[in-house]
Structure 1
């Protein structure tokens, strides 16, 4: 193997890794919206996660909106606890 062949192989490897990195950056930036468009996901969804808060490595609080009503949900330790409606006192 001469130096020109070795240099060409290194250049091809760098080019390939660069294209993979560029694709990863593009998917990270445009991925969620682009994937939703390709899959035909409707914009009028009934349920969405409004906000999340990580309490510790095993527990997480979520505010989930479903049909215009927000609920506070605690996830963790193998169970799901619906605490109460967010707008209720």
Structure 2
């Protein structure tokens, strides 16, 4: 392998690594949801996770809102352990 071919390979490697680094910096700067911000806004969603509380490594409580109704779910072991506990909006402490 002669010197110009070696030099061309080193420059190609440097260019490739530079482009990968530039892509990483741009992804960090604009965030993973940059494409979502460019897309058209979607219609109002009916289902939303309001809050999530991890109880232990296998169980978690999830507060889900559906059509303005909030439900508390106990999830664990790949299934719903307790469901359908309806909760109202939080009451003012005043």
Same-fold call, TM cutoff 0.5 = yes
Aligned length: 87
1:6 maps to what in 2?
6
1:47 offset after TM fit, Å?
0.8
Residue 31 in 1 paired to residue 32 in 2?
A: yes
Length-normalised TM-score, structure 2: 0.60
What CA RMSD, in Å, does the superposition of the two structures yield over aligned residues? 3.0
Q: Name the SS for the 2:44 alignment partner.
A: coil
Q: Does 1:62 align with 2:62?
A: yes
Cα distance, 1:30–1:52 mapped onto 2, change above 3 Å: same
As a proportion of its length, which structure holds more helix? 1
Partner of 2:76: 76
TM-score, reference length from structure 1:
0.62
Unaligned runs of 5+ in 2: 90-94
Aligned equivalent of 2:49: 49
Q: Which runs of 4+ in 1 moved over 6 A?
A: none
